[in-house]
Amino acid sequence: MRTLFPVLLTLLLLGSTGIYAQENKPPSEDYVSRAEYDKLKSEHEAMKEELEGLKTTVRQMANGTVPAPAEGPSTTTKALDGKQVVTEATPQSDLDALHKEVDTLKSEIKGVVPGTTKFLLAGYGTAGFTARSGEDPFFDASFNAIFLWKLTDRLLFEGELEFEFEDGNTTTNLEIAQASYLLNDYMTIGVGRFLNPMDYFVERQHMNWVNKFPDKPLAVYDGLLPESELGAQLRGVIPIGPTKLEYAAFVANAPGLITTPGDFSTLGMLDFDNLANAGGHVAVGGHVGFIPIPELEVGYGIQRSTVGPRDQAVEAILQSVDFNYVRDSTLLKGLINFRAQWVWSHVGHFIYDPDGGQGFGPFEFNNNRNGGYVQLAYRPTGFGNIIKNFEPVVRYDRLNQLHTPVGFDEQRWSFGLDYWLTSSTVIKAAYELDNKNAGARDQDAFMLQVAVGF
Amino acid sequence: MKKLTQIIWRCVGFPGTAIVVFLAAFTWLAIGCSTAGNSASTASGKGGAQLWGENCQRCHNTRSPSTYNDAQWEVAMMHMRVRANLTPEEHKAILEFLQSAH
């Protein structure tokens, strides 16, 4: 409780001040778009014309030029362009049928007119093939459904379900379940399960229709940093002249510390699926990103917590730096996409298996690991129809963990070629050259993947 | 106050304290701007189409305006405002462009 109190107090203060600010400033989304304006204008013009026609008819009826409509079957006369036109009367039964049809239509339209909540189902799906040396080749597929509800101009709920094959079974994971509220123009508070804001790749690049390789880089994904956090975050952006400063800060369940591993190589690693928050620790973290020009973003993220049993808790610090440069170059007639990220994981000195009961202790060490990736892609958008859809890409990624129970470092060079069928549908082919030290087996791989974003 | 500072320091250490101080300072700044009725953002003078290209392309290919209808773009853009930290001006301009261009 002592750990939670200052964090909750801070969030409460920030939340209440944000709401105060909101009351003093109207929402910035209250506007009418050009399309809405044009639609209203055309409706207004049509109504004016209809009114003029009615006025003319009334005047003619007053002058006796046109007889007033009579109830029941009768012959009516309409004035069109100053001429008298005699039409046959409409039988009452037809009118009744027409009224009934109108009522039915009204009812049907009422059934499909959206309420105040707006909904969008988005997501992405993949199908792939992997042939990795030393392993059986396999096909795989996955599907991520993203549910978005805009409840008000300030309130958004997003949920993401992932369906994938794992160990011969279809698994379902709740990747995101977050309610976000716009406190004011520059602050948004989110609660629930959300993508890890301190990991740029996870938050912005991991989606298969966005990621340019069939697989993910070492260390930054499913490696040294958590993919998601369970807690609350405060985020936003500060415009500073032509530049922007993005920020995010969060409190969340702390990761667990693996002290009794099924696999010895995972000893001392962090368990990011600590949904029950075993140990009762709290993680605090954040990310700051600076955008000096629209093409460039540099950022730094950090997460700090204590981990392990309460009476033996040690410190865990995760850090990340990211660099992203995307430019449509007229000189190179194409889109340059350069990304890099490096992360560090530190788990403090801990004595594992102190009484030797697990058969390997006592064993004590600081678990320090690091790794990251550098990636360059080029899409020749300035060339012809077919060529502009290709995108060659190269990546170097690395994970250093020689002085841990894992016992080796790994580095990879990956070469890929993507073909974009649409802006969010891509076919990827890649070859990966794997290199491990300390006698570990290298595992080169050939991969194919089709990814569709929708 | 000193006791509170010590409790915070013990709980979250230097990185956490730095983040809390940063957020407190920023909150004060943002609230000050909001209650004064002034916008802290700048008018970039860029149109929705340009902002659409600049902001979307930083992470992924720009999607065609015809991908979604007007109501769907409203939801998608609110999602992107939160995820990609768009300013309200960018959000408004890009949404107007997408809704008028399909």
Interval A376-425: pLDDT, tens:
999 999 998 899 999 999 999 999 999 999 999 999 999 999 999 999 99
CA dihedral for A188, A189, A193, A199, sign (positive or negative): positive
Strand partners for A335: A328, A379
Give which of B2, B5, B8, B19 to mutate to test A binding, by max A Cβ within 10 Å: B19
* Percentage, residues of chain A above pLDDT 90: 73
Say how far apart CA A112 and CA A93 lie, in whole Å. 29
Q: Inform me whether the C-beta atom of residue A120 falls under 8 Å from chain B C-beta atoms.
A: yes
Q: Which own/partner contact pairs does A171-174 have at CB distance under 8 Å and 24+ positions apart?
A: none
Tokens of A107: 């009812």
pLDDT at residue A74, as a whole number: 46
pLDDT digits (tens, 9 = 90+) for A51-105: 888 888 777 776 766 555 554 444 444 444 444 555 556 788 889 999 999 999 9
Residues 355-414 of A with CB under 8 A from B: none
Q: pLDDT grade, residue A166 (50/70/90)? A: confident
Packed helices A4-23 and B2-35: angle between N→C axes, nearest 10 degrees: 20
pLDDT at residue B24, as a whole number: 54
Q: What is the pTM of this model?
A: 0.76
pLDDT at residue B25, as a whole number: 56
pLDDT at residue A97, as a whole number: 92
Say how far apart CA A277 and CA A254 lie, in whole Å. 6
Residues A158 and A181 sit within 8 Å (Cβ to Cβ): no
* Cross-chain residue pair A158–B79, CB shorter than 8 Å: yes
Strand partners for A318: A303, A345
Compute the nearest-CA separation of B68 from chain A (Å): 9
* Cross-chain residue pair A185–B31, CB shorter than 8 Å: no
* Cross-chain residue pair B63–A424, CB shorter than 8 Å: yes
* Cross-chain residue pair B85–A234, CB shorter than 8 Å: no
pLDDT digits (tens, 9 = 90+) for A189-202: 999 999 999 999 99
Say how far apart CA A303 and CA A285 lie, in whole Å. 4
**Which amino acid appears at position A66 of this protein?**
V
Residues of chain B contacting residue A241, judged by C-beta atoms under 8 Å apart: 42
Tokens of A350: 């801990």
Tens of pLDDT along chain B (102 residues) come to 566 556 555 555 555 555 555 555 554 544 444 433 333 334 568 899 999 999 999 999 999 999 999 999 999 999 999 999 999 999 999 999 999 997
Residues of chain B contacting residue A21, judged by C-beta atoms under 8 Å apart: 30-31, 34-35
Say how far apart CA B24 and CA B8 lie, in whole Å. 13
**Which amino acid appears at position A267 of this protein?**
L
Q: What is the ipTM of this complex?
A: 0.76
A108-112, A218-222, B10-14 — which one is most confidently predicted on average? Answer: A218-222
Residues B91 and A239 sit within 8 Å (Cβ to Cβ): no
DSSP readout, A56-71? HHHHHHHHTSSPPP-S
* Cross-chain residue pair A35–B70, CB shorter than 8 Å: yes
pLDDT digits (tens, 9 = 90+) for A287-335: 999 999 999 999 999 999 999 999 999 999 999 999 999 999 999 999 9
Higher pLDDT, A174 or A46: A174
Say how far apart CA A381 and CA A383 lie, in whole Å. 6
Compute the nearest-CA separation of B31 from chain A (Å): 6
Tokens of A397: 């990624």
Which residue in B75, B86, B92 is closest to A148 by CB distance?
A: B75
Residues A207 and B59 sit within 8 Å (Cβ to Cβ): no
Say how far apart CA A280 and CA A254 lie, in whole Å. 8
Pick from A124, A128, A205, A122: nearest CA to A450: A128
Residues A254 and A407 sit within 8 Å (Cβ to Cβ): no
Burial A367-392 (b: 16+ CB within 10 A, else e): bbbbbbbbbbbbbbeeeeeeebbebe
